[in-house]
Amino acid sequence: MNEVIDKITNMTKEEKYELLEYLRTIINNEFEFNECKINECYKCHSKNIVKLGFYKEMQRYRCNDCGVAFTSKSKSIFATTKLEKEKWLKYVECFVDCLSLRRCAEKTGVCLKTSYFMRHRIIECLKQNQNPFIVNKNNKGQLDETFLRENFKGNHKKSTNFIIVNFNDIITNDLKIKIV
């Protein structure tokens, strides 16, 4: 997280303004009610889903395979927030200005714990909306002197989206790599 703050501090005014507008667009799109047709479970990707009534005017679904109940907004970044969109937009301005958690909390009228939560949601939002870095057979890609603080310890047998990439596979096969 400190890397993100360091990058923002080194930005010019124009770059900060572009980042602010980009984050505002993402937040506005997330908060717009846009009911879409659900074809599969977001958790297990099964097509075996049924309708399960309504929740806050949104159609609910249940997966018959894994049993999870969800709506079209369940997997969005701001799905569980109780804060209104205006507070998020105000917080984004504080975030881009690189204010401390306490100052952000004071300016938006939330507690310190909520400010911490909001900062991490915005960083998650930036990661999720980042363009992937693509390396194909015909394209050359070079990664050098990049330190990513990632910890891959633990048991990943049950994980559906964790893949360890061998660098020999990158050279020989077509792979999409998403840098986060």
pTM of the model: 0.60
Residue 119 has pLDDT above 80, yes or no: yes
Up-side HSE of residue 107: CA atoms within 13 Å toward CB? 17
Residue 79 has pLDDT above 90, yes or no: no
Enumerate the domain spans of the chain.
2-128
Residue 4 has pLDDT above 70, yes or no: yes
Residue 176 has pLDDT above 80, yes or no: no
Percent of the chain with pLDDT over 70: 73
Predicted pLDDT of residue 179: 47
Predicted pLDDT of residue 172: 47
Confidence band of 90 (pLDDT split at 50, 70, 90): very high
Up-side HSE of residue 54: CA atoms within 13 Å toward CB? 4
Using CA atoms, how far apart are residues 119 and 112, in angstroms rounded to an integer? 11
Question: Which contacts (CB < 8 Å, 24+ apart) does range 41-50 have?
Answer: 41/65, 41/66, 41/68, 41/70, 42/70, 42/74, 42/75, 43/68, 43/70, 44/68, 44/160
Predicted pLDDT of residue 87: 92
For 123-168, the pLDDT digits (tens) are: 888 887 776 666 666 666 665 555 556 666 777 777 777 666 655 5
How do strand 133-135 and strand 175-177 relate by DSSP bridges? antiparallel
What is the signed CA dihedral for 35, 39, 42, 47, rounded to 10 degrees? 160
For 29-50, the pLDDT digits (tens) are: 777 755 567 788 878 888 888 8
Using CA atoms, how far apart are residues 67 and 43, in angstroms rounded to an integer? 10
Q: What is the mean pLDDT of the segment spanning 56-63?
A: 83
Beta bridge partners of 61: 51, 70
